[in-house]
A and B are shown apart, each in its own frame.
Chain A
């Protein structure tokens, strides 16, 4: 299962999941993306593996053979283990979600989820580690001044509405990363639900029209079945 020497040099993911079928699918997807995966299926093994701290991120199911994955996360946090944790759970209510985050989870994903959503969330949590406080964001030709609240593409100033600015900022902080609609709704609009109409796509369309150059491929591309990506090399 080792993927040393992988060109993407992805970090190790510790998966604590007792449902065989789901675990297999998650492992297959993560391997496909180049992540090495360490898989255990009990709380006890999970604690040991997490303490050994080889993993860069943990994916923890809330229900593990009847015991609570959250209490495991709590224990680890008390011990000072800071590895980011993505909690996956069948419990979807807002309260459960808040409980998951309070226990020390960094993100909370409700079953059933698209594999692309899981991958995007893992990537986001991993990138968050090297997210530095900065006043200027630059990706390719795009440059955003967070203090002046201005955006330039090359030398051209781009006029954006406040919410479009927030939307672009979200992308600029995550270049080359898949950003899902749910992540955008949460991160830009603070929506905790998915509206029936794909309003997000309309907002992305508007943003594209402002930042793209005629005749050139769009800086933000659709990733089928997953979300969007802002390309740094465009």
Chain B
């Protein structure tokens, strides 16, 4: 980050806010301490004085004089005031000459400025209690609040000295963290700019111990992965469409050209018919390709309803049974008990149709095609098995890819996309579709993924 930026960025604002918050908090703590000290010490002084005055008022003259003398002798710091006035208001004993302006009611009173006797000090605040004795004289007790006020001052001075450096330190710490956060955001911003310019390979930085920003970055990265996957998919679809449109177009063009070149009307008609058939084939392929994209881009589980895979198997089985019989293939259905799941019934039927279509295609006369649906360990499973030539181990993953044709595929009609459509539909339903050896033949198994298993794509 360039230096001037710091004044424009939120970093400075964050640092200032942090500093102000710290200052306010510290001042509040000091204020609390200050008030606590004053209030509790003053209260204590008041209680002690009232008690002592009450006790002293009832002493005999001799006892009182002794006690007062003792008190004056012990008060080295000259914080105590004691005096005994006669009924006329003349001082009999004590270190204060004149009765202050308080009533002799035995209650504590605050006096803001008293000149302490015999001490080289300015006037100071003090608490006084005056109490009338039975003989008409008045006992006066008092205590300077000098110490309490000194402590108060110390607290204030401490606050005043601390607040400046603390403010600076808070600013520094705030600026440090704010700048660090701001630097991270700048890095993220720069990365995003690169991505926006078209570099889809870069990813946002994620630290090893992730915090909230890292979690968001990670989500953004996952989103980018998905976008890249979709882009690749769109590209492969358009590539495939281009390929599958150009080839039949070339064939059609050649056929029509050849038909037109001759003089024979019959030949032209035949060429036109062949071209039309070629066109239909290309159209079917493109429809199938668009169908795969449609299924793949469909919102997962939007419009999913409870369906019974067993019933769907029976339904599709019924549709294909005559086709099998026409090829002398034994068609077996094993779907007796309900197999409930959430899904799109039409799409599941389409997936199953493609699997059975494929099985019937690759099973020789006299063979067997078996369709089974069952709940296994709480998971719905559909199996379509045949007694055909099977799928070589090396080809088992590839046959679900678009346009992959096995060697045996060449003698059989079809776009070669049926299994890809089935795989896309299975994936949409969070089902796995895989092929295994049926010894002999192929066994296609479509089963619900375990809930915890991550999505394959």
Contact = CB atoms under 8 A, between A and B. Distances in A.
Contact of A196 (B322, B346, B414): B414
Interface residues of A, number: 20
Contacts of B42: none
Interface stretch (B137-145, B183-191, B283-291): B283-291
A197 interface: yes
A127 interface: no
A197 B323 contact: yes
A117 to B, nearest CB: 11
B322 A206 contact: yes
A195 B294 contact: no
B418 A196 contact: yes
A163 B317 CA distance: 12
Contact of A92 (B284, B290, B414, B418): B290
B415 interface: yes
A228 to B, nearest CB: 16
A94 B346 contact: yes
Interface string B259-293: 00000000000000000100010011001001100
B78 interface: no
A199 B320 contact: yes
Contacts, number: 53
A196 B291 contact: no
A2 B208 CA distance: 80
Contacts of B83: none
A202 interface: yes
A140 interface: no
A203 interface: yes
A92 B357 contact: no
A112 B283 contact: yes
Contact of B361 (A189, A197, A203): A197
A118 to B, nearest CB: 15
Contacts of B418: 196
A11 B414 CA distance: 39
A58 to B, nearest CB: 25
A196 B357 contact: yes
Interface string A186-226: 00010111111101001101100000000000000000010
B413 interface: yes
B350 interface: yes
B326 interface: yes
Contacts of A163: 318-319
Contacts of B413: 196-197
Interface of A is mostly: loop
Interface in A151-207: 163, 189, 191-197, 199, 202-203, 205-206
Looking at chain B, what size class is its interface with the partner chain? Answer: 20 to 34
Given A163-B318, A199-B322, A206-B322, A193 B290 contact: no
A225 B276 CA distance: 10
Contact of A202 (B294, B323, B346): B323
A196 B415 contact: yes
Contacts of A112: 283
A25 B320 CA distance: 36
Contact of A199 (B319, B346, B350): B319
A166 B276 CA distance: 32
Contact of B323 (A189, A191, A199): A199
A134 interface: no
Contacts of B280: 114
A80 to B, nearest CB: 31
B427 interface: no
A93 interface: yes
A194 to B, nearest CB: 7
Contacts of B322: 199, 202-203, 205-206
A192 B413 CA distance: 21
Contacts of A189: 319
B384 interface: no
Nearest to A188: B319
Contacts of A94: 294, 346
Nearest to A93: B294
Interface in A78-105: 92-94
Nearest to B349: A191
A22 to B, nearest CB: 15
Contact of A192 (B284, B346, B354): B346
Nearest to A92: B290
B357 A205 contact: no
Contact of B326 (A92, A194, A195, A202): A202
B238 to A, nearest CB: 16
Interface string B402-431: 000000000001110010000000000000
B287 A92 contact: yes
B429 to A, nearest CB: 15
Interface in B304-328: 318-320, 322-323, 326
B441 to A, nearest CB: 18
B353 interface: yes
A195 B357 contact: yes
B373 interface: no
Nearest to A112: B283
Given A196-B284, A196-B413, 12 more contacts: A92-B294, A114-B280, A163-B319, A194-B284, A196-B414, A197-B360, A197-B361, A197-B413, A199-B319, A199-B357, A205-B322, A205-B326
19 contacts: A93-B294, A94-B294, A94-B346, A163-B319, A191-B319, A191-B349, A191-B353, A193-B350, A195-B353, A195-B357, A196-B284, A196-B361, A197-B413, A199-B319, A199-B357, A202-B322, A202-B323, A205-B322, A206-B322
